[in-house]
Structures are given as structure tokens and as C-alpha cells.
A and B are shown apart, each in its own frame.
Chain A
């Protein structure tokens, strides 16, 4: 055995190797690199032409041969790379913790085997988001072969990335952000595409209102309509139809409404007989009759002896309309 001195270059190189192994436990690094300076010094002394290799590459070779986990990426500058590195470190710690528990390990294995499903889901989500971004009203619907093509393209890219192919510098950070966005978007997108139609906002706006409730104004149900003539006097027995000729019925005959603030009294709408014999509910103002409380029996009946009366109009009289004389005359 020849004795050799450790040159400053060798000392610096050994420091570089240890730094590249710094993610391992200190004991491990110590064990792995103990005697490194002596070995290097001897190798140097034997072959003066010898050049010191790259410390990081040397550390990688050492690590691989020792069967130790690879450092997935040398620490890089940049937010994306930093995030990705942090994510990988957390993953690594988690994986180690999980492996120590057999039940968790089995569960983890199962979850990992499902990752291809996630690759497809995230491609679907990306397609949906892009479709929504470009104003496709249904978001990502079944319609439109174009979006199926986009989905196909995204799926191929997503699966390739998932398999570790088609990678480029900075991609791990992008994938991380993409996964987070996809997870966050998953619930709203599922909700929006689940038969509500339209965007999620429309779904939320429509949901609280029953379609059978005929007319609403600023979100409040309209239960009666009061008409006034040009002079501002209240009118009765006005028949109203919408633009398509449908009778405007704010409520149907089976609906009841509160007769007072506490809802102790219930009122039912009374239809008006037309000359055809049909009972119409688009004749305003609608008359109301007190009914028995049907919450328990499920059926309501007019209170004995009660008569249908038109409810009190909100105004006795409203301001008259300023009508140009000619028009006013032709009206009469």
C-alpha cells in the first residue's frame, strides 16, 4: 500500500461528491464515502495523467452501485423545478413511510395500478377545460367530432407523459401544476357535465327553482297579477298569454300559498270559468279561497262556507298613462 497525499483538488472533489449525496442520511453518506480521499489520492498518485471526473456523475455511479435511491434531479433554480423537486421529495418520504406498513403498501400498490385511469381522466378534463375556454356552451359534450379528436390527442400525450416518455426540461413542474389544476377542476366539471347542461353557473341559478313554478320576478315567485288601465284604475278578469299564445299561469289549481306571515292560513287559487266551460287560471287577478291545511293529510279542501275573493290589489290606483291624443281616440 502506497501512501499518498490528498491534494486540494481531491478534497474539493470529495466535497462535491458528498454534496451530491446530501439527500441521503448523513450516516449513509459517511459510510459510502469513508476512505474516498485515500482511494482517490492513491489512484492519482498511480496515474498522474488521470483526470478527476464530474463529482455529480461520480456520486450517481456510486449511488447506483450501492443500490441507493437516485436523486431524481439535481436541484435547479426556478419555481417550477423547485415545486417539482419538493413534490418528489414529499413523494419519496411518503413512499418510504407507506412501505413500512404492509396494509398501506398493498393499498398503495392498488392505487398506483390505477394511475393509467388518471392519465385518461386528466386528458378528458383538459379537453373539457379547453372546450369551455373556447366557449363551447355544453362545455365538453358528446357533440362535435372535433373535441373527440382533441381528447384523443390529449390522451395520447397524457399517457406518454405518464409512462415517462416525451419528457422535456421543465415538464415535471408543468405536470405537477396540471395535476393540481385537474384535481381542483374535477368536481365542478363533473357537476357541470352531469345533465345540468350549460355552465356550472347556470346550473346553480336554475337548481333552486322548480320548473312548475310558472312566473318569477327577480328570483321571487309571482303568485298573482294586477292590471291597471290607461287611467290607472284596477282591471279585473284580464286574460294573459305569452308571446307563444300560452296562457300565463303563475300557479295551478293545486297550489296553495300562505294566507298570512306565519302561514297559519292557507289559500288556494280559484279558476275562472270561460265560455267554453274550461276553468282557466290565466284570468287576473286570481281569486283565492281559504283551504284546510293539507300538510298532514296531503289533500286540501276549501274551508266550509268560505267564498272565493280576489285578493287586495297592491294599489287602489296607479298613475295614468300619458297617451298621445290620436292613439287614445283610435283606442276608443
Chain B
């Protein structure tokens, strides 16, 4: 079993959880995910996911201009994003409990 395959299914909820703590821009979110232990996560996958969650209405977005370099695009969670995150937390808890029980029983 490949952890990157598992990650695909939970990247949405992981990104939402990271942004829930504090607004973040693309690479910042990547860094926080890696710091949390998801070291295999790909930059482009995270940027794409941020964009998709924004399009789906779960995130807000704003651009912060920079005088020295290129500007950064920040993402923050909104009410819909929080509701989604709560729901996915429950789903994940049930699923992980089921899987843990299953794997430990056998």
C-alpha cells in the first residue's frame, strides 16, 4: 500500500484542517502539511486542491502584494469550509476506527 494513494483521498480534509488554523498561501500550506508528517505531499497537488476548494466555495481567497517579489495568494476557510471540515472529520473518524478495528482483529 502506497501512502501517496491514501493521501489523494484525504488531501481535501488535510488542507481544510491546515487552513482552519490560520490563513495561508500555497507554499505555506505545503510546508505546514509536511511539518505535520505528510512529507510526500506534492506542491502542485496542494495548489490545485486549494483552487478546487475555493471554486467549490469552501475557501476565501485574497492577494497580498509584495514590494520586493511577486505577490502571494492567500486562502482562508469560510463557514461552508468549516461545515465541510466538520463533516469530513466525522467521516474520517468512523472510517479510521473501522479500519483500525478491522486490521487489529485479523
Contact = CB atoms under 8 A, between A and B. Distances in A.
A190 to B, nearest CB: 48
B90 to A, nearest CB: 23
A42 B44 contact: no
A175 to B, nearest CB: 30
Contact of B43 (A3, A4, A34, A43): A43
Given A4-B69, A35-B25, A39-B26, A62 B47 contact: yes
A233 to B, nearest CB: 101
Interface in A1-59: 1, 3-6, 31-32, 34-43, 46, 58-59
A109 interface: no
Interface in B79-99: none
B57 interface: no
B52 A5 contact: no
A65 interface: yes
Given A36-B47, A62-B47, A67 B52 contact: yes
Given A36-B47, A41-B69, A65 B11 contact: yes
B44 to A, nearest CB: 4
A38 B52 contact: no
A326 B87 CA distance: 117
Contacts, number: 86
Contacts of B71: 34-35, 38
Chain A interface size band reads 20 to 34
A2 to B, nearest CB: 10
Q: Is the interface of A mostly helix, strand, loop or mixed?
A: helix
A171 interface: no
Best-buried of A6, A36, A41, A66 by chain B (most CB within 10 Å): A66
A61 B72 contact: no
Given A1-B28, A61-B48, A65-B52, A39 B69 contact: no
By Cβ-Cβ distance, the 8 closest A-B pairs, closest first, are A65-B48, A35-B73, A66-B48, A61-B44, A39-B27, A39-B26, A62-B44, A38-B70
Interface of B: 11, 25-28, 30-31, 42-49, 51-52, 55, 63, 66, 68-73
Interface of A: 1, 3-6, 31-32, 34-43, 46, 58-59, 61-68
20 contacts: A1-B25, A1-B72, A6-B69, A31-B51, A35-B26, A36-B47, A38-B70, A39-B26, A39-B30, A39-B47, A39-B72, A40-B43, A41-B69, A42-B27, A58-B44, A61-B42, A61-B44, A61-B45, A66-B47, A66-B52
